[in-house]
Amino acid sequence: MNNQVKGLLFYYTLEQKHYSKIFWTILIAITLATSIIAYFLMDVEGTQFYWAFPFATYTNVCIIAFQTVKKDVPFGLKMGSIRKNIFLSYIYFFLGYSLFMAVAGNTLQLIFEGLHHVFGVTNYIFSHPAMILTDTWLTRTIIDTFFMFFLMALLFLVGLIFYQSGLLGGLIFLSVFVVVSLYGLFDGWLIDAFASILPDASMLTFATLFLIGIVLYLVSYLLIRKITVVQKV
């Protein structure tokens, strides 16, 4: 890893540090508040709380990956970074950030599960995709890392398409995606695909998503190598 890539990674990490503090503070506050409410409502028949950390962390990485194209890529170019190093720095950042979010989210869930056990909170249920497999901290972390990297690669590519082709080009791309998805839903083949995948889901399924994320990220190089500091509108 050369010094330019290290410098870019330092910049990405420093910039996300502030936003991460805000994100985790809000997430912990919401989980704590709903846990307290659940504690006082335990005697109310039929009261159950469902909470899923992955929905919050998955949304976070999507926003980070999409916004980073508009904010960080032009900054890197203005600072004299070559496009190859920008490309390399982002794959390291996406891998590291996905792993960090997965470890932090699942450790936090583990802590709250322990607190609920101590205080006898039984009406608060944490949901996670790992529940379809062996639901442990390790499997949750691996699944989240794989899936979040896939999401970051996908949204990074979408962000580059918007950046390179402007709002019109981006909207045309999204429109085609929505039309194909709706056609799949109405025609039934998309539902059939999910129905056949979910019952047979395994760690290999999420590993495949990770590999698809790698391919999407490699495709993004076709856009990065021609990118300029001027964003099309």
Tell me which H or E stretch contains 141: helix 137-187
Higher-scoring residue by pLDDT: 6, 2: 6
What pLDDT score was predicted for residue 90? Answer: 92
Q: Please give the pLDDT value at position 108.
A: 94
For residue 153, pLDDT over 90 is answered with: yes
Query: pTM here?
Result: 0.87
Q: Average pLDDT, stretch 100-126?
A: 93
Label residue 14 by pLDDT band (50, 70, 90).
confident
CB atoms within 10 A of CB 35: 17
Among 95, 100, 232, smallest CA distance to 161 is for: 232
For 34-64, write each residue's pLDDT tens digit.
Answer: 999 999 888 887 788 888 888 899 999 999 9
- Band (pLDDT 50/70/90 cuts) for residue 198 is low
Assign 182 a pLDDT band (cuts: 50, 70, 90).
Answer: confident
Q: What percent of the chain has pLDDT over 90?
A: 40
- Rounded Cα distance between 218 and 77, Å, is 19
* Separation between Cα atoms, residue 111 and residue 53, nearest integer Å: 12
